[in-house]
Structure 1
Amino acid sequence: MNLEALFDLFRQARKLCGHQDFVVIGSLSILGLSEHFQVPDDMTMSNDVDCYTKNDPDRVFDLLAALGENSPYHQRSGYYLDAVAPGLPSLPEGWGERLLKVEHDGLRLWFLDPNDAALSKYARGEPRDRRWIQAGIRVGVVSLPVVSARWGSTNFLDADEQQRARCLVEEDQAWFALVKAGRQPPEPEPR
């Protein structure tokens, strides 16, 4: 997935719903920075674009038949719109003010900050989330000190999710200390 393909999807969305502001969260939110550096493949492997219409979040659900999973658009392009609600992921306070805006062709896409996305991914804790986070750490767009600083204001689902996420952050801190010391360890075991 790349930024050009993402804008193609949202041009189709605009035709169907009239909105021109969309918020992209999840893995593909990293594409908000793609005009500034070469995004690692491990960060753009997803084929589902987690998003919502910025000014009317529920409106995005009306687009699923035409642009969602197994839609004609998905079958043609290989990727699809995955409608989400703004309150779905575990995110820290202030995440909405840190959205990164990219404009093309009258469309405004708002992308989740990579550190905020990393917190949400630590909360979910799936192996693909860990690959995304570690790729971001390697290229410097995910900062473990920033993630730790935002930890206290993150809205976790419950204490268990918070504890699991904390363990994953600690594992990545130990992993990255070895990377920085020049002793490239094996990838941490996904939980």
Structure 2
Amino acid sequence: MNQDALFQLLGEAKALSGHQDFVVIGSLSILGLEESFQIPDSMTMSNDVDCYTQADPGRIFDVVAALGENSPYHQKSGFFLDAVSPELPSLPDGWQDRLIKVERDGVRAWFLDPNDAALSKYARGEPRDRRWIQAGILAGVVSMPIVNARLRSTNFFDTEEAQKARALVAEDRAWFETVKNARGEGLPADPTGLAPPFSPGGS
């Protein structure tokens, strides 16, 4: 998926819901940076847009019949809207202040910062989530120091989820060190210019 397809879908959601602000989470939140750098194809493979209406999150569920999985829109376009709750993902403190706004034709999409999205994926920990994260690390758009710093303030569902996420972050830190050593390179530069300088207590 790309931004054009996403905004076509959100335009339909606006017409049906009367809302113009949508928060996009999950894999396709990376599309908020489409105009900033070349997003790896492996980060945009999903065909479902996880989102909710910002002002009234429950309103998004009213458009599922028309735009959700197996809907006429899905069958026509190949893409569908996956209505979610803002309480669904495990995210670090301050994530709402870091949302990336993109506006087109009267529709405003608010995309998760890629490091916050990575933490929500570490919480879930599925193989496809790990592939997305590692692609982002190699592209320089997911920063392990930032992820590690925000890990401490992430609101996990329970202790088990927190422990699993911490273990996966540690695995990927070790993996990336191996990759860097093999390549003889330093950390990739942030191609977006959005990542703040890392400090031990930073967010």
TM-score per shorter chain, which class? Answer: over 0.9
- State the partner residue of 2:127: 127
- State the partner residue of 2:95: 95
Q: In structure 2, what residue type is equivalent to 1:182?
A: A
Query: d(CA) in 2 for partners of 1:143 and 1:115?
Result: 7
Describe the superposition over 1:79-112 as per-residue Cα deviations: whole angstroms up to 9, x where unpaired. 1000001011000011011000001111110000
Matched pairs, number? 184
Q: In structure 1, what residue type is equivalent to 2:106?
A: G
**Deviation (angstroms), 1:183:** 5.2
Q: In structure 1, what residue type is equivalent to 2:135?
A: A
- State the partner residue of 2:18: 18
Query: d(CA) in 2 for partners of 1:182 and 1:37?
Result: 25
Query: d(CA) in 2 for partners of 1:55 and 1:171?
Result: 38
**Deviation (angstroms), 1:60:** 0.2
Unaligned runs of 5+ in 2: 185-203
Moved more, 23-32 or 158-167: 158-167
**Deviation (angstroms), 1:18:** 1.2
**Deviation (angstroms), 1:139:** 0.7
Query: d(CA) in 1 for partners of 2:154 and 2:166?
Result: 12
CA RMSD of aligned residues (A): 1.0
Q: How does 1:1-191 map to 2 (within 5 A)?
A: 1-182=1-182
Query: d(CA) in 1 for partners of 2:73 and 2:180?
Result: 43
Query: d(CA) in 1 for partners of 2:97 and 2:172?
Result: 27
**Deviation (angstroms), 1:182:** 2.2
Unaligned runs of 5+ in 1: 185-191
**Deviation (angstroms), 1:165:** 0.9
Moved more, 175-184 or 20-29: 175-184
Query: d(CA) in 2 for partners of 1:107 and 1:165?
Result: 34
Describe the superposition over 1:114-169 as per-residue Cα deviations: whole angstroms up to 9, x where unpaired. 00000000000000000000000001110111011111110111111111111111
SS in 2 for 1:89: coil
Query: d(CA) in 2 for partners of 1:144 and 1:52?
Result: 28
**Deviation (angstroms), 1:177:** 0.4
Describe the superposition over 1:46-96 as per-residue Cα deviations: whole angstroms up to 9, x where unpaired. 111000001111000000000001100001111100000101100001101
Q: In structure 2, what residue type is equivalent to 1:72?
A: P
The runs of at least 4 aligned residues of structure 1 exceeding 4 Å deviation read none
Q: TM-score, normalised by structure 1?
A: 0.94
**Deviation (angstroms), 1:179:** 1.1
Q: In structure 2, what residue type is equivalent to 1:108?
A: R
SS in 1 for 2:182: coil
